[in-house]
Amino acid sequence: MKSKYLIIASLATVAVIGSCSKKKEKSSEKAILEFWVGGVQYEPNGNSFTHLYPKTAPNTWTGWVSMPAAPSKVVLSAGATLDPPATAARDFEQEQTYTVTAQDGSKQTYKVKAERTQYLE
For 50-83, what is each residue's pLDDT tens digit?
A: 887 765 655 555 556 677 889 999 999 999 999 9
Overall number of domains in the chain: 1
Domain assignment present for 79: yes
Domain assignment present for 77: yes
Q: Tens digit of pLDDT for each residue in 105-115?
A: 999 999 999 87
Helix (H, G, I), strand (E, B), or coil: what is residue 108?
Answer: strand
Domain assignment present for 26: no
**What is the b/e burial string over 13-27, where b = at least 16 CB atoms within 10 angstroms of the residue's CB?**
eeeeeeeeeeeeeee
Residue 9 pLDDT greater than 70, yes or no: no
Domain extent, residue 39, equals 32-119
Among candidate residues 64, 30, 44, the one with its CA nearest the CA of residue 111: 44
Domain assignment present for 70: yes
Stated pTM of the model: 0.70
- For residues 70 and 91, the answer to whether their CB atoms sit within 8 Å is no
Confidence of residue 96 (pLDDT cuts 50, 70, 90): very high
